[in-house]
Structure 1
Amino acid sequence: MGRYRKQLFENVQDENFNPDTRYELAYKRVKRIKGFYVHALVYVLVNGYSIISRFDYTEHSDNDFFSWETFTVAIFWGIGLLAHGLSVFGRNLFFNTDWEERKIQEFMDKDKSQKWE
């Protein structure tokens, strides 16, 4: 998320913020979350069906069932689903809202303790 949009989203709680804009931002966020849940549901249904049908097709032979081909789609689609989830929920996972301020303060304190001569 860009710096401007991040600041805009953080200002949603501001009392003077336009209610229509607050609604629009909240609506977009809900649509993104709903999109992720639909993606997760389709992932579970399609891959569940795929793996179960592969299990029936192999006539219970463990060597055929536990092969790379059985789980390839589920693995790579799962990576995509993880990326989608991080884009929706993980924005502040590593760099939360206070991270920049803490880092700036840390560097300022570090520079203050060093003597520049």
Structure 2
Amino acid sequence: DFIPQLAAAALARVQGGKLDYVQLGQAAIDALNQRAIQIWLNDKEDAQQLAALGWDGALHPEQGADFIALVDSNLGYNKVDSVLERSISYEVAWPDGNDQPAQATLTVTYHHPVAVDDHE
């Protein structure tokens, strides 16, 4: 598995003492500011501080605006992820008349293009 190997290598590097902690801290702050890393905490007071910094992952749609968010998170990255083909389709049907709401359909498709032999 990729994640345990990555974690072991990162821990070995930290324990080896050959790490620029200022550079590591700045990289972590940059990743948080770019929302590449997001944090959730159970403690409400701490969570409010994260929210104030924009590090809590919250989405803030404009008042009255149409809004949709799709999150695709592969926390256990593996070889399949690099070849997976993803497509997204978003369609809105507008009804006749103003008394009916629009109907929206979001379709997310994952396709694995690599053929595998049948194994029993």
Structure 2 length-normalised TM: 0.29
RCO comparison, higher one (Cα < 8 Å, 6+): 1
Q: Higher Cα Rg: structure 1 or 2? A: 1
Structure 1 length-normalised TM: 0.30
- Higher helix proportion, which one? 1
